[in-house]
Structure 1
Amino acid sequence: MATGKINVSVENIFPLIKKFLYSDHEIFLRELVSNATDATLKLKHLTSIGEAKVEYGNPKIEVQVDKENKQIRIIDQGIGMTADEVEKYINQVAFSGAEEFLEKYKDSAKDSGIIGHFGLGFYSAFMVAEKVEIITKSYKDEPAVHWVCDGSPEFTLSPAEKTDRGTEIILHVAEDSTEFLEEYRIRELLTKYNKFMPVPIKFGTTTETLPKPEDAGDDYVAETVEVDNIINNPNPAWTKQPTDLTDEDYKNFYRELYPMQFDEPLFNIHLNVDYPFNLTGILYFPKLSADLQVQKDRIQLYQNQVFVTDNVEGIVPEFLTMLRGVIDSPDIPLNVSRSYLQADGNVKKISNYITRKVADKLKSLFSENREDFEKKWNDIKIVLEYGMLSEPKFYEKAGAFVLYPTVDEKYFTLDELKEKLAATQTDKHDKLVLLYASDKDAQHSYIAAAKDKGYEVLLLDSPIVSHLIQKLEADNDKISFARVDADHIDRLIQKDEEQISKLTDEEKDKLKEAVETVVPKATYTVQLEAMDSSAAPFIITQPEFMRRMKDMSKTGGGGMFGMGNFPDMYNLVVNTNSNLAGSILATEDAAQRESLVKQALDLARLSQNLLKGEELTAFVKRSFELIK
């Protein structure tokens, strides 16, 4: 029996591993199963090139829990190790066997799926174990060996009686880690980290009843057999070619990823690139509500089918973190615990690629079946609008497929709108004005008035629309947006000939004075406008700039678009050609004239949902008095 001291370059390496090297103790199982997977895939590669003269067979990895003896076992049927290899790979911390293997076979093994990078994964076992044993036999014709270490730099290495190829790791679980002796806990970890590992993983068995043979008699007794409980799917959808998958395959994989999610995805994007980096994956567009309070961290990041994290910030553009799915890349740089991304040029390249791929897919969906794309628009618009604001490369491509619906559920691209408006608006302005509503019900009267005049009204009701139109206006100097209840639309668009006021200048001054006596000057700016006599006598609008700034401040608060607080400011537009204007001028009694103005103002406020609380109560009471 040989004894020796593990060759480490840092004193007390085991406390360092246990406390600091790994961010989460539960990943010990991921690392050990990953090592077992590497050992199996190495053997597969060596047999495929004829270097290993053994039968590969149908190997699997088995995880066992022995609660009574406080042990966890990870058993593989892979490449195994000789005594010299144990000395080389186990007793020298941070010497990676996988890395050396890949370097040796870099031309033939580049697509073998081998995971290891750091040579530290095995030592994660000491985060939960007070003693670790390795019993291993190489595929080479050499004796098996038994390695034991109690968490100090001391180890023993002796011959073992193992006759079959592969490695068995035995963890003697420490008192502070007995939670990992619960079968449900191990099943949870295997499902979380190893659900899609490329080698079958056995965890326990299940009993199945064999079907009754056709020629069995009435006295037939059903037979049962024990079947390995394979806990993973070694061939997940993202590892296959898109041409080999149907729509139903993609939906089934979505259900496999999110078994508690009952909605169907709208569509998927299959990622598959091998230059200038390797990346595969499937992203799903789920149905999203029209707000920004959506659940993020639903995209899972894998490295060669090993789960790494669901925090994909940096790799996936921020606007796409609202999606769901899987990204797998061996080229994403990770630290030794594989839990956090490191700053690297590849990360930005991958992010840019995903942005471009998503934009190309959206364009093809729009071009191939516009009608279906329009039906899905309300479910995806918040993601795309956010993408236009946050990702310049996405914004460059978005014009080809981003839609602007009208209140009548017609859909236009921005270029289509420009062409349509250029044919209907006069040349009195140097810009085309795009009218829009943000709340179809609250702004109904304004929408109706605009439509009566033949104006097209868009419905832009996402919470970030104010930010989006600011950007669109900045990048398109020939268009401007105005909400339908903003500064009076006839003045903005000037489609119609101006109406001539029935009032003299002296009567206008008197009317304005009578209204301003009642209207709060801090909130309302009174404007006189000559309109058709059938139009509303009092109309409340908001200065477009101030209203937009206020909307933007609401969207952000102190967060994404925070811009501070803006006061409520409105225009009160008085139609000088209305009968009410004449009535106000004709009323000699000051109290009665004030009541007329108050009632008209409150009606206008009511149409804008601005009348609440005590003021609403007073309005209702006054209305009943007028009826009497």
Structure 2
Amino acid sequence: MQEKGNISIHTENIFPIIKKFLYSDHEIFLRELVSNAVDATQKLKRLAALGEYPGELGDTKVTVSVNKEAGTITITDRGIGMTAEEIKKYINQIAFSGATEFIEKYKDKTDTNQIIGHFGLGFYSAFMVSSNVEINTLSYQPNSKAAHWICDGSTEFEIKLSDKAERGSEITLHIAEDSLEFLETSRIHSILDKYCRFLPVEIEFEGEIINNPSPLWTKQPSELKDEDYIAFYKELYPMSEDPLFWIHLNVDYPFSLTGVLYFPKLKKDFEFQRNKIQLYSRQVFITDEVKDIVPEFLMLLHGVIDSPDIPLNVSRSFLQADGNVKKINSHITKKVADKLNELFNNDRAGFEAKWDDIGMFVKYGMISEEKFYDKAKNFCLLKNTDNALSTIEEYEQKIKPIQTDKNDKLVYLYSNNAVAQDIFIQAAKKKQYDVLLLDSVIDSHFLGQLESKLEKVQFKRIDSESVDKLIEKDEPKLSLLTKEQETQAEELFKKVVNNGKVIIKLEHLATDDMPVTIVISEFMRRMKDMAATSGQSMFGGFELTHEVVVNTNHPLIAKAIAAPEAEGEQLIKQTYQLGLLSQGLLQGAELSAFIERNMNALVK
């Protein structure tokens, strides 16, 4: 038998289109062809299980080999193979799919998700890198004759009898001049490791099995121990610390989804770039760009998601519009929230011990996903400057008696740097106030979210006002200075500060409060912080103006007014610069002069 003919396609330009547009990354050809070989092998195993193939299965591994001298790559399987007629139907007539007919025939007998093939356009990805492609194949069917198909990338083909004696298919690619990189064994090994490391049939390359056919996510959770999950995590991310905990996904309806998601130890900065969630379809790697598959905050997690409902070659627009993708997105969000809630309820002490590592993840989820917020508000923890942890509801009850202001608004005080703002924290503690520690990169967004969700609540940074102004009460404060003395004090400060951008405010505070407090508007500071984390420039270069709050009841202020002019100005300058120093605003030449002046005073 020998036959020549034309491939049944609708345009003479199909191959240039395939080469240029079908796959943006040419290395995909190997994924497609190895996947085909695996599918053919899986089909044979299924037929044997159904009693429709009585022969011996024998060695069913798929072999990939490179012959640099001959300029070829060969993919060999011992699957169902094809007859000459099947080649004509499934290879020459692109409109058909071998898997479609196979599924139709056995739809009532088998799990179709396990055997869907990719004959058709997937096979033709071979022409992205080849000047000539050969198929040498023998069908599993009794009395079949082996067939040899050859095509040079045009629409013409040749098919003839072959002397192949072993069941299965052998695909040989004659690599084109512009794709010689694929004749390097290191290049092929890296592609196989990327796309085929978890395919369900053994893949041999260079005499070694390069894949794990039974990855952890394909097993039942009841079969696995903690060390199994950790070992698999190390297989995925060899250089990483052990994960905190994990979620095993296993859904059959209304969509199919398996996988394992790991909670890594997160620091106070985001770690998107290093370890990503990997997306698979029937154990074939698709991508690690999963933004449209999972909510953005879940990209902080690591692990694997596998769903046959997501095709191998997809566009972002498909992912964004696909109903199954949206269901997967919602399901994963729910599973993550349920897992965290379970950990919190079953082992609160253990949950609290992990909070520094998972707190940013939880907060990020609450900010970005409404459904996650609804669940997470019950287990999200707030940490104060004494490292005590409370749920949002617990903390509200804790501070309500003393941190409710005259307008019946509950004021949450917070610090974003407990060391630098210690003087303000200590002043608040003297009044029995509690101060939260909100020092991660997303906390400016997080507290804004809580303010919008909680009723009659306001967050104030501990250094944004004088301590008495942070939580205003209906308790009038009297000044120990006369009106004339207050005017003198204000004029002194204006003269010493000598900066029209700085606002001088006189307040009647407790005698043991600071004589001078430097504060920056909570609103302006928060806008600048949020802009910095969002990459916005509107407030990024904005110079924050500060207010000088003068405590008219502090003895130093009265002393400065009563002192000779030069001495009084020196006292005011010293107290003002101490205030600047407490906010990290005393810098450069002014800081050097301040240090020198104080050193000289000590020597005298």
TM-score (norm. length: structure 2): 0.95
How far did residue 475 of structure 1 move?
A: 1.4
Q: CA RMSD for the aligned pairs?
A: 2.2
- Runs of 5+ consecutive residues of structure 2 not aligned to the other structure: none
Does residue 1:621 correspond to 2:596, yes or no? yes
Structure 1: stretches of 5+ with no match in the other structure: 206-228
Structure 1 position 588 matched with structure 2 position 564: yes
Output the amino acid matched with 2:585: L
Q: Is the 8 A contact 1:490 1:496 kept in 2?
A: no
Distance 1:158-1:426 versus aligned 2 partners, 3 A rule: closer
CA contact (8 A) 1:296 1:322 kept: no
Deviation at 1:527, TM superposition (A): 2.0
Contact 2:406 2:474 (C-alpha < 8 Å) held by counterparts = no
Are the counterparts in 1 of residues 405 and 473 from structure 2 also a CA contact under 8 Å? no
Q: Deviations over 1:370-398 (max 9, x none)?
A: 12221221222222222111111111111
| Paired residue type of 2:385 | V
Whole-angstrom distance in 2 between the partners of 1:126 and 1:501: 88
Deviations 1:432-472 (A, max 9, x none): 11111101111111111212221111111011212221121
Q: Is the 8 A contact 2:59 2:78 kept in 1?
A: no
Query: Residues 40 and 179 (structure 1 numbering): CA distance in 2 closer, same or farther, change over 3 Å?
Result: same
Distance 1:51 1:336 in 2: 35
Distance 2:416 2:253 in 1: 44
Number of the residue aligned with 1:248: 227
Task: State the AA in 2 paired with 1:396.
Answer: D
Partner of 1:529: 507
Write out aligned runs for 1:372-383 (5 A).
372-383=350-361
Q: Which amino acid aligns with 1:421?
A: I
Aligned pairs for 1:51-450 (under 5 A) are: 51-117=52-118, 119-141=120-142, 142-205=144-207, 229-259=208-238, 261-292=239-270, 294-295=272-273, 298-333=276-311, 335=313, 341=319, 343-425=321-403, 428-450=406-428
Partner Cα distance (2:316, 2:394) in 1: 48
Q: CA offsets, 1:13-59, max 9 Å, x none?
A: 22222222211111111000000011011111212222223233451
| Alignment CA distance shift 1:412-1:494 (3 Å) | same
Indicate the larger mover: 544-553 or 348-357.
544-553
Query: What SS does the corresponding residue of 2:114 show, helix, strand or coil?
Result: coil
Distance 1:112 1:334 in 2: 13
- The 3 A distance-change label for structure 1 pair 524 and 293 is farther
Q: Is 2:577 the counterpart of 1:598?
A: no
Distance in 2 (CA, whole Å) between partners of 1:241 and 1:189 is 29
Q: Do structure 1's residue 13 and structure 2's residue 44 form an aligned pair? A: no
Cα 1:92–1:443 shift into 2, 3 Å: same
Q: Bigger CA drift: 171-180 or 565-574?
A: 565-574
Q: Percent identity?
A: 55
Question: What SS is found at the alignment partner of 1:90?
Answer: helix
Summarize the Cα distance change of 1:427–1:67 in structure 2 as closer, same or farther, 3 Å threshold.
closer
Aligned in 2, Cα 1:235/1:340: closer, same or farther, shift over 3 Å?
farther
Q: Distance in 2 between matches of 1:378 and 1:520?
A: 44
Counterpart residue type for residue 568 of structure 2: R
Matched position secondary structure for 2:260: strand
In the other structure, the counterpart of 1:222 is: none
Counterpart position of 1:546: 524
Q: Is the 8 A contact 1:115 1:303 kept in 2?
A: no
> What is the match of residue 571 of structure 1?
547
Shift of 1:296: 6.0
CA distance in 2 between partners of 1:450 and 1:523 (Å): 28
Matched, 1:607 2:586: no
Q: Distance in 2 between the 1:182 and 1:140 partners? A: 36
Q: Which moved more, 1:314-323 or 1:53-62?
A: 53-62
Counterpart contact for 1:60–1:76, Cα < 8 Å: yes
State the shift of 1:341 in Å. Answer: 4.0
* Alpha-carbon distance, 1:499 to partner: 4.5
Give the structure 2 partner of residue 469 of structure 1: 447
Query: Shift of the alpha carbon at 1:521?
Result: 4.7
SS in 2 for 1:16: helix
- Give me the whole-angstrom Cα distance separating, in 1, the residues matched to 2:119 and 2:317: 13
Determine the structure 2 residue equivalent to 1:223: none
The amino acid of 2:567's aligned partner reads Q
Distance (Å, rounded) in 2 between the aligned partners of 1:150 and 1:427: 82
Structure 1 residues 121-147: Cα deviation after superposition (integer angstroms, max 9, x where no partner): 111111111111111111101111111
Q: Indicate the larger mover: 335-344 or 24-33.
A: 335-344
- Deviation (angstroms), 1:625: 4.1
**Aligned equivalents of 1:499 and 1:327: distance in 2?**
62
- Compare 423-432 and 330-339 and name the one that shifted more: 330-339
Indicate how the Cα distance of structure 1 residues 465 and 82 shifts in structure 2: closer, same or farther if over 3 A, else same: same
> 1:194-237: CA deviations, max 9, x gaps?
000001111122xxxxxxxxxxxxxxxxxxxxxxx211101101
Relative to 1, partners in 2 of residues 1:500 and 1:29: Cα closer, same or farther, differing over 3 Å? same
| Bigger Cα displacement from structure 2, 100-109 vs 591-600 | 100-109
Alignment: residue pair count: 601
Q: Which amino acid aligns with 1:362?
A: L
- Going from structure 1 to structure 2, the CA distance change for 1:473 and 1:52 (only over 3 Å counts) comes to same
Q: 1:500 aligns with which of 478, 494, 501?
A: 478
AA matched with 1:180: F
Question: How many angstroms apart in 2 are the aligned matches of 1:522 and 1:378?
Answer: 43
Could you give the per-residue CA deviations for residues 300-334 of structure 1, whole angstroms, max 9, x where no partner exists? Answer: 11000000111111101111112211111011245
Query: Is this contact kept in 2: 1:365–1:373, CA < 8 A?
Result: yes
CA contact (8 A) 1:96 1:120 kept: no
Residue 287 of structure 1: CA displacement? 1.8
Question: CA, structure 1 residues 336+148, in 2 after alignment: closer, same or farther (shift >3 Å)?
Answer: farther
Match of 1:36 in 2: 37
- Assess if the C-alpha contact under 8 Å between 2:516 and 2:548 holds in 1: yes
Deviation at residue 426 of structure 1 after TM alignment: 5.3
The Cα offsets for residues 153-183 of structure 1, whole Å up to 9 and x where unpaired, read as: 1111111111221111111112222221121
Q: For the residues of structure 2 that align with 1:83 and 1:520, how far apart are their CA atoms? A: 94
Query: Which has the higher mean CA deviation after the structures are superposed, 54-63 or 166-175?
Result: 54-63
Q: Distance in 2 between matches of 1:614 and 1:167?
A: 80
1:124 counterpart letter in structure 2: S
Question: Which string of whole-angstrom CA distances, capped at 9 and with x for unpartnered residues, describes residues 565-594 of structure 1?
Answer: 5431222221222121111110232x3322
TM-superposition CA deviations, 1:1-21 (whole Å, max 9, x none): 111111111212222222222
Letter in 2 for 1:45: R
